[in-house]
Amino acid sequence: MQADYVIVGAGSAGCALAYRLSEAGRSVIVIEYGGTDAGPLIQMPAALSYPMNMKRYDWGYQTEPEPHLGGRRLATPRGKVIGGSSSINGMIYVRGHACDYDHWAEEGAQGWAYADVLPYFKRLESWHDGGRGGDPEWRGKSGPLHVTRGPGLNPLTQAFIEAGAQAGYPVTGDYNGAQQEGFGPFDATIYNGKRWSSANAYLRPALARPNCTLVHGLAERVVIEDGRATGVQLTRGSRTEIIAANAEVIIAASSINSPKLLMLSGIGPADHLKEHGIEVLADRPGVGQNLQDHLELYIQMAAKQPVSLYRYWNLTSKAMIGARWLFTGAGLGASNQFESTGFIRSRAGVEYPDIQFHFLPLAVRYDGKLAAKGHGYQAHVGPMRSVSRGSVTLASADPADAPKILFNYMSDPSDWEDFRTCVRLTREIFAQPAFEPYADKELQPGAQMQTDADLDTFIREHAESAYHPCGTAKMGDANDPMAVVDPQTRVIGVDGLRVADSSIFPRITNGNLNGPSIMVGEKAADHILGKDALPRENAIPWMHPAWATAQR
């Protein structure tokens, strides 16, 4: 088998690449290890806690024991299914802040400032405000990815936005528009009551074209001849074969599997590759380094009125919600239930938001386990720009073995200070008059946990990943020894090979990573096709006028 372009990974960025390259008339083969996304567990938004905890859909990765979190091993879900992690995530859509991308450009990713990437965010979107306000001039209207808003009917959902305003923070009608900072409604990759993954948005339309093919198999290595990538070796069942790339190989296998595949192919830190008996074809010390994530806590409250989603937390109600969704595509099953959010700054002197809230009108964990019996609500909260950095390394030279993942969470003292601030600011919001009719006791951490030492114990025992890994093949100037790809997403030191997914983020963006990952696929496609970049947009985002001297 052969094609102009061979893409490894049918995830958020890979599907966008397949769509744009095949749209341009190029032949494309997409290699994906996972299987189908058919069935309600993936397609029904309210069922989001199921696929990310199922071996059928998730690679099932875990971190190494995290030394600053009491040696806990944290789950690191990555999608093993068409659509990749966009098929198992919480469907929350956040572009990130304008300053994130300006920072990328300052770090050597020329051409990736906010003015450069905003046109690509617009190109990928079809935005629907759902009658809850917004910034239509900042949003896309005809892209493959439908972005919608839940109805926000639960009184707790509205109370969260009101409480933010009562605490002195701005309210924003569209955090993906001119003003990210403040409290307002969440955007989601949901359309007509269905998860609108990159598989639904991009891959299915691409596969409907005669020049795009999907192949299921495990990519073992990129074939490199005389310094040029010429194909991908993969196993399908008991067979090993090579799929030839006439133009280029593009790795879009996630920030965990992309560096793993690079290293198995001889591209990475030379000493590490030699340890595993792998011939060094390109000594790139940055491969697998610079690993980042968002860590978060669940601040949970008991509710004294029966207004939370707990009333549906029983088999009969779940069956009724599922049946209604199957027959009509509507009802509670058509929402991820994350319908309000907040982006705030932790202190004066921070230029743009560095804390994000996900509000949920239920006290529950991501894995679907209740914290306590009874009605409640919670905010997921965590810092957006942790200083800590980790790594992805090889456990062996066997492509079937999982890589070693160490985020090194909380390794910098500033992370502890930031997390304590997150807890205290969340408590302040939950203490506002908007929650007075509902607020009962604090379930987690618990009102008795007040001192820095108390909160540090809580953080160490309860902090969880928000599942936003990135940065392991960072984009930068070709002369940067730690850069892995240049600003055209070309792997430095190897011809005919690119990486285009969240691996290439120089620094993690502000919020959930699905939207930025799809944007990377969209923009990389233009680089690959040799097209002129979309014209820059010099839209000026709102910045708090007193950010230097005020926290809110």
Active site residue 468: yes
Pairing of the two strands 295-303 and 182-185: unpaired
Q: Is the CB of residue 1 less than 8 Å from the CB of residue 215?
A: yes
287 among annotated binding-site residues:
no
Q: What is the DSSP letter of 321?
A: H
The owner of tokens 């910045």 is: 543
Q: Please, are residues 47 and 333 in contact by the beta-carbon 8 Å criterion?
A: yes
Task: Identify the active-site residue in 103, 294, 468, 544.
Answer: 468
Question: Six-digit token pair at 443?
Answer: 């379930």
- What single letter denotes the amino acid at residue 18? A
Amino acid in the structure at residue 515: G
Tokens of 455: 């909160």
Collapsed DSSP state (helix, strand, coil) of residue 522: helix
Name the token pair of 510: 């502000």
Q: Beta strand pairing status for 282-283 and 218-225?
A: unpaired
- The answer to whether the beta carbons of residues 124 and 196 sit under 8 Å apart is no
Residue listed under structure tokens 């306000």: 133
CA distances from 242 to 22, 267, 498, 539 (A): 21, 19, 18, 46
Q: Are 259 and 472 in contact (CB under 8 A)?
A: yes
Other C-beta atoms lying within 10 Å of the C-beta of residue 70:
10
Q: Torsion angle, CA of 539/541/545/547, rounded to 10 degrees?
A: -140
Give 9-67 as a DSSP string. Answer: --SHHHHHHHHHHHHTT--EEEEESSB---SHHHHSGGGTTTGGG-TTTB--EEPPPBG
Cβ atoms of residues 77 and 49 within 8 Å: no
Q: What does the block give as tokens for 129?
A: 């405000």
Q: Residue 239: CA atoms inside 13 Å, Cβ hemisphere, count?
A: 6
Within 10 angstroms of residue 103's Cβ, the number of other Cβ atoms is 18
Element (H, E) at 327: helix 315-328
What is the per-residue DSSP string for 144-176?
SEEEB-----SHHHHHHHHHHHHTT--B-S-TT
Per the structure block, which two tokens stand in for 256? Answer: 């965990």
Three-class SS of residue 136?
A: helix
CB 130 within 8 A of CB 148: yes
- Phi then psi dihedrals of residue 14, to 5 deg: -60, -40
Binding residues: 81
Catalytic residues: 468
Binding residues for FAD: 81
